[in-house]
Structure formats: structure tokens, C-alpha cells
Chain A
Amino acid sequence: MSMLRSLLLTLLVVSSSASAGEKAPAARLKMDKTGLAWIAPFDKALAAAKERSRLLFIKPIAFGTKPNGCW
């Protein structure tokens, strides 16, 4: 019984995780900020640009991105 329960729990966790074909909320992402101090999501970046009177440095990515923010 406990094994079945464990299996069901695992399936539940896996199915609730975003797959490669889904978008994930920006808050879940871990982008590497040891170099460039990326600001996300865009609304926050745009607000910072307006508030500080700074230009946006935008890198669009075409080949897909991974859950850890890697591309």
C-alpha cells in the first residue's frame, strides 16, 4: 500500500512540473547572476529601466531555454 501511495505521489509531482513544452513562471527560474545581473520578468526589468533611466539590454533566445535558465 505504501509503495502504491509513493508511486502515486511521484506521478503527481512529476505531472505538476513543467515539461519542456510548457512555459514556467519566471519566479521558478534560476538564471546565472554571477555575471550579468539579469532582471526578470520583463515587467520588472521595464520598470527598473524607467525608474533608473537606463537602456534595456535584451537577449532574445530562439533555441529554447531550460528550467535552470540555461540556453
Chain B
Amino acid sequence: MLRAGPLSDDSVIRLVNRRFIPFAFDLSNFGFLGDDAALKFVTAARKEYGNGMVNTPELLIMTPTGKVVGKVSNYGSTEQVLAALRGALEGAPEFAKPSADEAKLTGIDRAELHLDLLDLDGARAALESETSMRAHYLRGHIARRRGDWKAMERHFAHVEGDEYRDHLAMERAYELWHKSDYKALQATTAKVRASSARYTEARYYRGLALFHQKKIDAARTLWRETIASRAQDRWIYRADWALCASKQRQGRGSVMMTSDRKSESALGRIGYMGRRNPDLYR
């Protein structure tokens, strides 16, 4: 569930990739991600992880010397993961210092750094004297993340060109999602081209638009096709979660939620998919 939820969230990904070293491994001897060195390192701090008795191990934030400075439940939300990440950085500031390269960043690059660190004010300030198309786009993106839709449109009015077409459609889709305007969300996300980096993200939200219009079978087909279209992509994990959690109850027109992962996961996932995909319950 962590992987389909918080670990596929843009804010979590940005902060982890900027300030942490992400690592995953299998506690058992049966999986392909087994790693003896990791098992030794983790069990030195968490002995119970070494005997195979922990079914849902917590996500751990550790120093290179083996001290646990943060943890999140295997069923943690995005907000809980972000809180743990921030708490760990505040509690161990020696591991939160900017790198030598980061200290030299200016303008757009500095704004991107602040966005990674979830510092929207810092990102906005770094763009203060920037007039490029990218700067206008990032101002609109920051406004979108703040939910300031008027400001978003004001900045996006300066953005044009094929390079930004799909990004603008997907950024605007978040306003429609926020306002539960599912018909418009379906139309807007359909504009994002298959060649775009935002394509699977758009398909995920288009599936949600269909789902919330009670077009369950269409949503599930779209998610299944999206998963099949990519070998590796973070949005296919979320689409798989939605697929697992939604079922059309045949003949009754109502939706049944399920965590029947074995029969539903298009990725053939092994891990428990979790009780609820919050995007399906609004």
C-alpha cells in the first residue's frame, strides 16, 4: 500500500530523492530483493525484523550508523510519511545540509530545489526576477499546489507552446479534481498525449473521473490498459490500487470496494494492497 500510495506521491518522491537515500529489501529469503547486508543493518536496530514474525514492517528512516530517527506504519498516509521525513530532518540536521552544488543554484534551478524541499515560498522567491516560460509555468504550478486557481490561470496565461501543452492540461486537471467536476476532468485528461511524461498520471485521473461518474467498468478497463502500457511507472501502481479496490457489482449498479488483491492486481503484486484508496472515497 505504501508503494501505491505515499511512495508514488509527487511530494514524497521529490523530498526523498533530494534529501534521502531510498532503499527497499525483502526480509524473507523467498523474494528477489533479499539483501543480507541490509538485513544485518536493520535487525541490529529492530531485532524482531530478523525472525520473520513481522508481517507489516514499518518504513524506517535511519542514519548511516544504524540509528532509527523516524518510522511510518506500513499503512501510513502521505501526510504521515511527509511528517516523518520532515521530523527526521529536523531531528538530525547534520543530514539535511545542502550539498556544495545546491548552494550554487540560482533562478529556476533554485526554485526546483525549493519545490523538492516542499518550500513553496522559497520557490516563489527564487523565481522573483525570472521571466522565462519555465518561470511562468512554475509560478502556475506553485499556485496549483496551493489551490489558488485564479493565480494559476494568471500565470499559465503566459505559457504557450507544444512543450507545455500536456503539462498545462494535467495541472488544470487538478483544479477539476479538487472541484469534483468529473465530466470536465475526463475531457481535460483525455487531451494529454501518450508521448507525454504526464500520460499515465492523466490516465489515472481519467479513470477516477469515469469511476465517480459511475462508469465503473470503463474506469477499470482504462486502468488495466494503463498498467499494461508501461513496464515501469509509478502511476501504474496507483492505478493497480484503484483497480484492486473497485469492483462493479454485477446487475445492481452499485460499486463494491474490495482488497481482493490476488484476483484483481494487474501487476500481480504480492504485497497487501491496503484497505482503502482515498481517491475512490470522497
Contact = CB atoms under 8 A, between A and B. Distances in A.
Contact of A71 (B23, B42, B269): B269
Interface string A19-48: 011011010111111111111111101101
A33 B52 CA distance: 27
Q: Which of A24, A43, A58: most chain B CB closer than 10 A?
A: A58
Q: Main SS of chain A's interface residues?
A: loop
Contacts of B267: 70
Interface residues on A, range: 35 or more
A71 B20 contact: no
Contact of A41 (B17, B32, B37, B59): B37
B221 to A, nearest CB: 22
Contacts of B2: 59
B30 A20 contact: yes
Interface residues of B, number: 62
A31 B23 CA distance: 10
Interface stretch (B62-70, B169-177, B245-253): B62-70
B42 A58 contact: yes
Interface stretch (B89-97, B135-143, B211-219): B89-97
A40 B19 CA distance: 17
Contacts of A52: 21, 99
A30 B58 CA distance: 23
Interface in B166-219: none
26 contacts: A29-B32, A29-B33, A31-B24, A32-B237, A33-B232, A36-B7, A36-B16, A36-B22, A39-B22, A39-B23, A40-B24, A42-B38, A54-B21, A56-B21, A56-B60, A56-B61, A57-B59, A59-B59, A60-B59, A61-B24, A61-B26, A61-B57, A63-B270, A69-B33, A71-B24, A71-B26
